[in-house]
Structure 1
C-alpha cells in the first residue's frame, strides 16, 4: 500500500502526529504504548494462521512501529493511580486460538471502550465521567411506561437519545464533526430505529420496576391497545381487536426475538458501547455521501479491532467476539421489522415523527 507523508507510517491511516519519535496515527501510538505496558509474554507471529485479508498480528505491527522510528524509551512509565481499571486503547491485535464455544460470564463493567484523545485533549477519565452524565440524561427520557406515551412522543425520545449518543461519539471520533448536516442527519435517521432496539436491552433491568403490575397476558395486551389508540388521529381510531391484530406481533417480536436474547448475553457497558457504535457508523446507511460512507467504514474497522483487542487482553474466549458481532445482524433484522411497523402506522393513522416518515420513504431495501 502506498502511503504519503501525511499517512501513518505504520498502518497508512490519515491524521497523523509525532508519537514516540516517529510519525503515526493515534491508534498505532496507543498500541505502541500498550505493547510496552502489557504484562503479556511475547508471542510469535500469527499472520499465517489468521483470517484472509485480516490485519497484521501484534508482533508484525510492533516491528512496523520500530521501522517508523518509534522509540520505547519515550514511552512514559505506566501510572498506577487506577491499576485495576479496564482500558480499551486503540490497538490492533490477532484473535486468540479457540478454546471453548461456551460464552464467558459477564465481564467487569467499564464505562467506555475507547482511549482516543478528544478535541479538547482530555483523558480517558474525562470520557468515563461524561458517559456517566450521558446515562443520567438518557434516564430522564424513559421515566414512563411506553403506554403512558404516544407513538410520536416515543419517536421524539428516541431521536433525542440518538443525538446524545452522537455527542458522545464526537469526543471519541472528532473527525465526524466535519460531516455535513445532511450526512449527520441521515446517519442519525438510520441509527435511531436500531438504537431504540438496542437501548431496550440496555435499559431492560433498569425499567423493569415500571411494569411490576403487568402480571397477566391481558395486562400486556391492554398496554398495547392504550399505546396505539392514544397515538391515532382524532376519529380515525381502529378497534382494540384490530390494534392487537396489527401491532401486537411487532412488540412480541421485539421482546422475544431481540431484547430478551440480548439481555441474556449479559453484555457489559464496553460491549454495548461497541455495538451502539457499530450500528451508528455503518457505511451502508441510506442517503449518505461517499465520503461519509468511507468515514463510517473506517471508524467501524477501528471499533472491530478495538473490540477484538479488548477480548484478547482480558483472556476472553474468541467466540464471544463473534457472538457480539452477530448481535449487530439481529438488530439489523429487527430494523426491517421496525420499518414494517412504520408502514402499519402510516396505514392506520398513527402519528409518527417526521424523521421516522423520512426513514420510511428512503430507499433502504
Structure 2
C-alpha cells in the first residue's frame, strides 16, 4: 500500500494468493514493468515475454534465488531487500532490461540435447558418498542426503538406530554397522564398492556437500588417481544452513578452486571430508587394512590412517574448491565425554608411532588433573576419581 501511494501514476495488478491465473503471459506482455521474486519459473516467464522487471530474490534454505539473481546483472533490476517506498518511483522508471541474453529461443531443444547426452554418456565415474551416523545425527544426516547431487549414490553406516535412520533418509542405503568408527568406515567403503562405486567420498554426517564438492573430487582423482584427496571445511554458526560463501577452518590448506596441492603435513588430514578411488582403497586394504579398528570410541583413528598413508607412500592432496559445510552442534572443548577413549587411543597411537595425537586436549585434561603424563614408559594415565566430576560440569 505504501508503494502504491508513492507511485500514484501506476496501476498495480497483483498475482498470487487469491488472485490466481493459470497463464500470466498476456498480463506480462501488457505490463509496463513487473515486480517478482527470483524463482526460476518467474524469471523464465519474464524472459520469454521480454518484460522489464524488478527482481526481489526471496530467502530460501539453500539461497538459490540469491545466487540466481547474481546472474541477472544487466538483464533486470535486482534488489536483495525490499526497497523503501520512496525508492520505487525511480525503480519503476527504469527499463534496463535485456532478456535476449537469457536465450529463451531454442531453450527446450538445448535442454533435451543435454539430457540425451548425459543419458548416453554420464561422464562422471560412479560415485558414492559414505557417512556414519546414529539417531543423534538424524536431522544433520537428512540435510546432507537431501542436498546430494543427482546421480551420486549414498551409503549410511548406522552406528546404532539403523531402522530410524532408514526411515529418515530413504534415499540413502542404510546398513547396520559396528559402533567402532574405524570398522564402520571400512564397512562403508566395502558396501559402496559392492554397489558399483569407482569413486568413494567420505563425508561426516554433520557435513553438507557444496555443489562443487563431488565434481572437484572427481576431477582431482582424474588427474591424481593414486591419491587420497581432501577439501576445505567451513564450520557454520548455530542456526546457519548454507552451501555458499565458504569460510574454511584456518588450520587446513585452502587452495584456489581447482588447484591441487600435495600435502607436506599428513597430520592435517581430517576424516570429515575426503575422497579416493576404489582402486586406491583396494591398495590401502592390501597395505594396512584401512582404518585401524584397534582405536575404540572417539579419537585418533583418522590421524593413524594419515600416518599409514604417508608410510605407504600414498599421496595426500588438497583440492581447492571442494568445500564441505559443517552443521553446528553443541561441543565441549576439551571433550570430557570422550576422556577415557582419548587417553586410551592416544596411548595406542604413541605405542605405534612414538608421538601423541590430540595433544591440545591431553594437555587440557592434564591441567585439570584428570590425567597424568608418565615418563617411562611415556604414556598418559587416567585419574579415575576425576571422571565423575570434570571441571565445569
Q: Choose between structure 1 and 2: higher strand proportion.
A: 2
TM-score normalized with structure 2 length: 0.24
TM-score normalized with structure 1 length: 0.25
Could you say which structure has the greater relative contact order, defined with CA pairs below 8 angstroms and 6 or more residues apart?
1
Larger radius of gyration: 2
